[in-house]
Amino acid sequence: MKRSQINTAYRAASACFARHHWVLPPAPKWDITDYGLGDFERFGLVLVNLADEPEYCEKLMWARRGQTTPSHAHKKKKEDVICRAGELTLELWPAKPASDSEPCGGLLVPVDGAQRRLARGERLVLAAGSRVTLVPGVWHAFYPSSDECIIGEVSTANDDENDNLFLDPAVGRYPRVDEDEPPAVRLLSDGERR
């Protein structure tokens, strides 16, 4: 990912947060990723860690239409994914997604606190203010179904290095960065590269 892309995404996300009156804490921790796939327009997400405690964390995220967070699950993390602005679509599976010939088992997930039954891989569309609770082992991918979307996450402690299980083995949690211009913001992963 080029640093210029990261800078552009940072500015666009900051502008969207400001338009929707989301005030970030002092010195927020930014994470802007293409999941190591080299295609931020298709597989991109901007994340801001608002709280990172041993027991819980909170994130604010931003994505544009066409950007997907690839299918993944967590070994230990339980999370609420909340649409804060725009419209967010999630695809959910009770176990690792397999071929289309597999049986279509469903899952039960809390949506806005009420249990909802979904078919395997069914799309769940969240309007602004709605949330879904995902337990460890539930596979999910998500993307905006509006032009842009602000996404919230409240979860148990976050461990990006050891807790994420991605369906695509080519996915890497952090991007490789081509320093084509000076950084507008320091990323969580910048310290690891220097």
Residue 184, pLDDT > 90, answer yes
The stretch 163-177 carries a mean pLDDT of 90
Query: When comparing pLDDT for 114 and 193, which is higher?
Result: 114
How does the average pLDDT of the chain come out, rounded?
A: 93
Query: When comparing pLDDT for 190 and 90, which is higher?
Result: 90
Percent of the chain with pLDDT over 90: 85
d(CA 172, CA 163): 13
| pTM score, whole prediction | 0.92
Query: How does pLDDT run across 6-50, given as a tens digit for each residue?
Result: 999 999 999 999 999 999 999 899 999 999 999 999 999 999 999
Angle at 1 between CA 66 and CA 4, to 5 degrees: 95
Percent of the chain with pLDDT over 70: 95
Q: Of the candidates 54, 56, 60, which has an alpha carbon nearest to the alpha carbon of residue 32?
A: 60
pLDDT of res. 104: 60
Q: Of the candidates 121, 129, 123, 55, which has an alpha carbon nearest to the alpha carbon of residue 94?
A: 121
d(CA 2, CA 181): 8
Reported CATH class of domain 3-193? mainly beta
One-letter amino acid of 140: H
Give the domain ranges of the chain.
3-193
Query: How does pLDDT run across 97-148, given as a tens digit for each residue?
Result: 874 545 566 899 999 999 999 999 999 999 999 999 999 999 999 999 999 9
